[in-house]
Amino acid sequence: MITLCEPDNAPCVAEIVNDRGESILIQTDWDWPGVASTFGWVPCQCGQTDGTVDCPHRKASEMIQEAGEWIRDHYGMEVEDPGYFGR
Ligand SMILES: [Zn+2]
């Protein structure tokens, strides 16, 4: 399992921690949609974007900001690791 955490000593939005205590800092806002999606956020109902490209309904910049806010609202969530720490 991996947990979405608030970084202690970094100006980043998110840190992903696994059950072995290893962690990955999410450094750039372009990574927010992917991370948020891992934990259940959906960029757009149409399914034609991963949140980093425009779709017919939404701008990527708007989805990236929303993903960042979603992450801040969901610290502590746990999901199965989709591959952040390898297998
Ligand atoms: Zn759309």
CA of 71 to the centre of ligand 1 (A): 20
Is residue 73 in a domain? yes
What percentage of the chain's residues is helix, strand, coil (to nearest 5)? 30, 15, 55
Q: Report CA(29)–ligand 1 centroid distance (Å).
A: 20
Instruction: Give domain status of residue 84, yes or no.
Output: no
d(CA 86, CA 84): 6
52 belongs to a structural domain: yes
**Residue 48 to residue 33: CA distance in whole angstroms:** 13
Residue 28 domain flag: yes
CA of 53 to the centre of ligand 1 (A): 10
The total of structural domains in the chain comes to: 1
Mean pLDDT by 10 residues, the chain (87 residues): 90 91 94 97 98 98 97 97 88
pLDDT for the residue 87: 61
Does residue 85 sit within a domain?
no
Provide the domain limits for residue 68.
2-79
Indicate the helix (H) or strand (E) that contains 20.
Answer: none
